[in-house]
Structure 1
Amino acid sequence: MSWLTAEEALRALKTKPQTLYANVSRGRIRAKDDPADPRRRLYQSADVQRLAERHAGRRKTETVAAEAIRWGDPVLSSAISTIIGGRLFYRGRDAADLAEAATLEQTAALLWNGADVVSSSSAEAGHAAPSLQAAFVALAGRVTSDLPSLGRSPAALRREAQGVLSTVADALAPGRSDQPLHCRLAASWQRPDAADCLRRALVLLADHELNASTFAARVAASAGAALSAAVLSGMATLTGPLHGAAWQGVDALIEAATVLGAAQAIRRTLAQGNRLPAFGHPLYPDGDIRASALLSHFPLPRDFAELRDTGEAVVGEKVNLDFALAAMAAAFDLPKEAPIIMFSLARSAGWLAHAMEQIDSGDLIRPRARYAGPAPETDTRR
């Protein structure tokens, strides 16, 4: 990721400083402090170039669409969440502030635009451990019996969303129905001291604008699939190593640092042409607010602290949420798969919110492909 000074950005954009600053505040251009001079700011070159080309009128419609799929402009409207000025907002409320006291159930109610959400359970406490496989099986079972989402009222869909979330919770946070989900999760892992951090993590993970898994959920919902199918689509996408399973790369880096030392492990990773999975996020040039909101509430294990300090000095990027989830799992001695369990449980609330919003829009998400294969055969006899 390359960065430009203000002077370089202004030359590329051929505009005034006020316009540059306005584009930053609106999230069109990512910016961060200059490590060499904190009084100056640096601007993401790809964002600047994209706006410069747009202003010059050189982009065709298909180019705009292609770039929108790759960290570009929004490809559809949503009132659920957004990232502005390095902060994450759920329906206008700061997610980090919300995480100070809210539960996942309260956050889901906000994301679902006022629906009551309770952590009901059909599972018996103490007889199962959180299982991602069980969540997939349970959702797949619902898909074959749940009604399609089209032609149903918002109230009916919210009631079904409650049922789908309960199905996910029974698999990922089995426990007593009178307990909030973070307490059920802490109890199922026999880590009651982790309950408050689990609560914070679940709130911070509940939604994140139009990420890959949320887009997958919205595509399924746009075709009229059942809400359970939309969540199943999102959960399947989440398991990818470039998305919800990115914490595994952090664990691998920690393991290498344990053997080689943090500095050498980082140097080897960068020398091999790989990016450091624990650092940076394209939407948070000044640092992932979700990571900082979580890391301040538990003691950071020494190997994670060394990796953080060394890596931030070398790459000039702060640690991200994947690092925070891996560090939290290590700090509380949670099971190895704890990050993806937390991610899947929390994000299910967001997927359901987006699915219901997509259904309400009435639009089918159906992009066109830019064909790049061999030329079609033609019949010369015609």
Structure 2
Amino acid sequence: MKNNDAPLNETAFFTLSAQDVCAATGISRATLYAYVSRGIVRAIAHPGDGRKSLYDRRDMRKILAGKKRGRSRQSVAASTIDWGEPILVSKITRIADGQFYYRGKDAVVLSDTMTLEDVARHLAGLRIDADRCGAPDFAPADHATPFDRVIAMMAGQVTGPTARDGRPMAAKLMRLAALAAAGIGDDGESPIHVILARAWGAKSRSDAPELLRRALVLCADHELNASAYAVRVAASAGASLPASLLAGLATLSGTRHGGLTPRCRKWMDQVAKGKIDPAFDPVGNNVPPGFGHPLYPDGDPRTRAIMQSCGQVGDAFWARIAARVTDETGQYPSLDFGLALLERELDLPKGAGLGIFAVGRMAGWIAHLFEQRQSGKIIRPRAAE
């Protein structure tokens, strides 16, 4: 006979029973189960009784915070802006139980085989054929980083001649973004990851094109993040394709979004040279740049996939550094760490990590743009004092 009151090993430190959650928060079991179904509270199987579940202790804070705020119209609206409940209905990407899914399919699994072109078709219905899209209409030397070149290209598309605004144009803009990041013209045949590998001279590893392919797929979308929301706001107001995508690029550049990637690269360079302690953040925060993600308290699956593909596991240098930071801060490496790592491992040009982020995320932005247009609604919140 099983003793269901026996110690539950380390799981017990991180979980609570349904009875404990309800007692601590004052909610009913029916409400708890509703929170689980909505992804607000995570449930795991009870190791001692298969008929029961245990609930993540950390998620109880969400319930308590919600009760403290109350459910007034203003408090609900405020909660949605800061990692709150979804404020827009979207079928593009879902994040749940430490994983994320592109239209219902595990994105990490998709990254095993798919190209960015495949994912753009899956997410946004795009058909990105290798075609001669021409070359950037500026000298690459005039724009120091891949991301700078993507921004310049998209700004030129906004102010250039009016073009059709449907999926064929969106597919062309995606390929133009890749060519701008690469700083070269189109060869009319290569997929995006091969174009980037060739242009950036990623010859330090024979698997460089495959590593770039996986990273691009993992960057393709991540639910209602700040840049995707910016694209949707612009699209809801009737902005053109390039104008909406430029809004996404501008937002991605922020130091609390994609701009964390170059910050993390700088931190990694200092660590590698022995100039700073790995757990020290040069700008004075508690956690170094590139660590911690509110949606992945147990670690970012995108980063795990990139680190494993690069061989950074076990006793490998950056695997040990990441483990030490996690031990000292409780925060796991985020996508920014993974992209900065890839930039170092492949000896890519300065800023290539953010360039990968921007080119890959273009697929998700386009999917959000068309989904928002289909809704026929303008995003226009009200202000409250």
| Superposed CA offset, 1:193-226 (max 9, x none) | 3100000000000000000011111111011010
Is 1:79 aligned to 2:91, yes or no?
yes
Aligned-partner SS, 1:88: strand
Cα distance in 1 between the residues matched to 2:288 and 2:37 = 27
Contact persistence 2:302–2:335 (CA under 8 A): yes
Is 1:133 aligned to 2:148, yes or no?
yes
Shift of 1:353: 1.0
Cα distance in 2 between the residues matched to 1:269 and 1:19 = 41
Cα distance in 2 between the residues matched to 1:278 and 1:271 = 13
Shift of 1:250: 2.0
Aligned-partner SS, 1:269: coil
Q: Tell me the equivalent position of 2:240.
A: 226
Is 1:52 aligned to 2:70, yes or no?
no
Q: Tell me the equivalent position of 1:251.
A: 265
Q: Tell me the equivalent position of 2:307.
A: 295
| Superposed CA offset, 1:101-137 (max 9, x none) | 000001000111x332224342359x95873222222
Q: Tell me the equivalent position of 1:237.
A: 251
- With over 3 angstroms needed to count, the CA separation of the structure-2 counterparts of 1:121 and 1:233, relative to structure 1, is farther
Amino acid at match of 2:166: L
Q: What TM-score do you get using the length of structure 2 for normalisation?
A: 0.82
Shift of 1:357: 0.9
- With over 3 angstroms needed to count, the CA separation of the structure-2 counterparts of 1:333 and 1:320, relative to structure 1, is same
Cα distance in 1 between the residues matched to 2:90 and 2:162 = 24
Over the matched positions of the two proteins, sequence identity in percent amounts to: 37
Q: What TM-score do you get using the length of structure 1 for normalisation?
A: 0.82
Q: Tell me the equivalent position of 1:352.
A: 366
Cα distance in 1 between the residues matched to 2:15 and 2:282 = 24
Is 1:179 aligned to 2:185, yes or no?
no
Cα distance in 2 between the residues matched to 1:234 and 1:105 = 19
Shift of 1:63: 0.9
Aligned length: 351
Aligned-partner SS, 1:82: strand
Cα distance in 2 between the residues matched to 1:203 and 1:189 = 18
Q: Find the partner of 2:58 among 24, 39, 43.
A: 43
Cα distance in 1 between the residues matched to 2:340 and 2:377 = 38
Unpaired stretches in structure 2, ≥5 consecutive residues = 1-12, 45-53
Shift of 1:45: 4.9
Contact persistence 2:175–2:192 (CA under 8 A): no
Is 1:166 aligned to 2:175, yes or no?
yes
Contact persistence 1:148–1:225 (CA under 8 A): no
Contact persistence 1:134–1:171 (CA under 8 A): yes
Cα distance in 2 between the residues matched to 1:362 and 1:45 = 36
Unpaired stretches in structure 1, ≥5 consecutive residues = 33-38, 150-155, 372-382
Shift of 1:22: 5.7
Is 1:327 aligned to 2:354, yes or no?
no
Give the superposed CA RMSD: 3.1
Shift of 1:358: 0.7
- With over 3 angstroms needed to count, the CA separation of the structure-2 counterparts of 1:191 and 1:272, relative to structure 1, is closer
| Superposed CA offset, 1:328-374 (max 9, x none) | 11111111201110011011111111111111111101111224xxx
Aligned-partner SS, 1:71: coil
Is 1:282 aligned to 2:294, yes or no?
yes
Cα distance in 2 between the residues matched to 1:101 and 1:177 = 22
- With over 3 angstroms needed to count, the CA separation of the structure-2 counterparts of 1:195 and 1:128, relative to structure 1, is farther
Shift of 1:287: 1.1
Cα distance in 2 between the residues matched to 1:21 and 1:342 = 39
